[in-house]
Amino acid sequence: MTVEEVAQYLGSVAGRPAAPRPEAVADVLAGLKRQALARDDQTEAKRLWCLEQVLQTQNLYLAAFSRLKDREFYLAWCDFERVEITLASLERHDTGFWREFRLDFIGTQTAKWQSLYPYKVFTSPEMIERAECSICGRPTMPRKPCGHILGEIYDGELCCRVVTEIEAVLGIAFVSKPVQKYSVPFKIDPDTGKSYDHYNYGVPEFAASALRVPFDDWNLERTTRRQPHSRFAEVRKDDPCPCESGKNYEDCCLPEEGVLRPHLEFSFAVPPPPDTPHDSFIA
């Protein structure tokens, strides 16, 4: 394959043919990059690195959608995080091909999927680290910098900060906005001592069931709607109101026609399969 043929392949992601496999295309890009470096063509090596990131982003997005369909919600969450990271590393290199390779769509949809997840808190370690440059291996020395710039491309590779030593872990905090989104806390089963996934994935599950393919567009509107009191029959008058206002039920929603709860209204560009429920109480 030539670079142009690879670009054509990447541009057809929404209806990608079965062959060649993405792994084969990754090998082609790696080979082309080696050739560019042999010519000391840094510009072409950088362009090929960008195309590698496009391929990886597309693969991760497709994998995430597939995992959603398979109800592997946490693993899909991790793939979406990697999509986000890969897109961020590409962003500063103004490649001009975001629309051509559907990266704008992937970025937008990734954020939408992430917003459907039930995760509210994440673990966040506080660590004392030493690091080095991924390009030259020199330790981080503010007064004697190696000269490589984080996020830039050298010899077709991204310059990163590589942590070489964790001197101490000072604590683990719970945060609502983590750097590492994969750090989702799971409950431990007291009988087995093993962690298990206790989250309610009803919302992403509903959206995934309504979509046939990963490149069909969809949107979401968040409002509130009153749900019948019969759904909250176990809540007593002096219990906290199920609307989560912090007031007692009897002083809040009980006198009203229903309990005010978040309401998500989906719209799909392509009609969902006929067995998709029109209305659904998820949580």
Under 8 Å CB-to-CB from 267, ≥6 apart: which residues? 218, 219, 220, 221
If the CB atoms of residues 145 and 271 are measured against another protein, the closer one turns out to be 145
If the CB atoms of residues 26 and 160 are measured against another protein, the closer one turns out to be 160
Other Cβ atoms within 10 Å of 267 Cβ, number: 9
User: Is the separation of the CB atoms in 221 and 265 below 8 Å?
Assistant: yes
If the CB atoms of residues 178 and 262 are measured against another protein, the closer one turns out to be 178
Element (H, E) at 202: helix 202-210
Closest approach of another protein to the CB of residue 178, in Å: 6
CA distances to 19, 36, 81, 221 from 31, in Å: 18, 9, 28, 46
If the CB atoms of residues 35 and 180 are measured against another protein, the closer one turns out to be 180
User: Is the separation of the CB atoms in 174 and 182 below 8 Å?
Assistant: no
Closest approach of another protein to the CB of residue 140, in Å: 5
Closest approach of another protein to the CB of residue 83, in Å: 14
DSSP secondary-structure letter at 142? T
Closest approach of another protein to the CB of residue 124, in Å: 4
User: Is the separation of the CB atoms in 39 and 23 below 8 Å?
Assistant: no
Element (H, E) at 36: helix 22-38
Closest approach of another protein to the CB of residue 32, in Å: 27
If the CB atoms of residues 23 and 165 are measured against another protein, the closer one turns out to be 165
- 149 residue type, one letter: I
If the CB atoms of residues 124 and 276 are measured against another protein, the closer one turns out to be 124
If the CB atoms of residues 108 and 224 are measured against another protein, the closer one turns out to be 108
Rounded to whole angstroms, the Cα distance separating 110 from 77 reads: 9
User: Is the separation of the CB atoms in 87 and 103 below 8 Å?
Assistant: yes
Closest approach of another protein to the CB of residue 162, in Å: 12
Structure tokens at 6: 């690879």
Q: Report the interface residues with another protein, using CB under 8 A.
A: 88, 91-92, 124-131, 139-145, 150, 161, 163, 167-168, 170-171, 173, 175, 177-180, 183
Rounded to whole angstroms, the Cα distance separating 31 from 36 reads: 9
Q: Pick from 210, 221, 224, 227: which is nearest to 265 by CA?
A: 221
If the CB atoms of residues 6 and 103 are measured against another protein, the closer one turns out to be 103
Closest approach of another protein to the CB of residue 273, in Å: 34
Closest approach of another protein to the CB of residue 176, in Å: 8
Q: Tell me if the bond preceding 118 is cis, omega within 30° of 0.
A: no
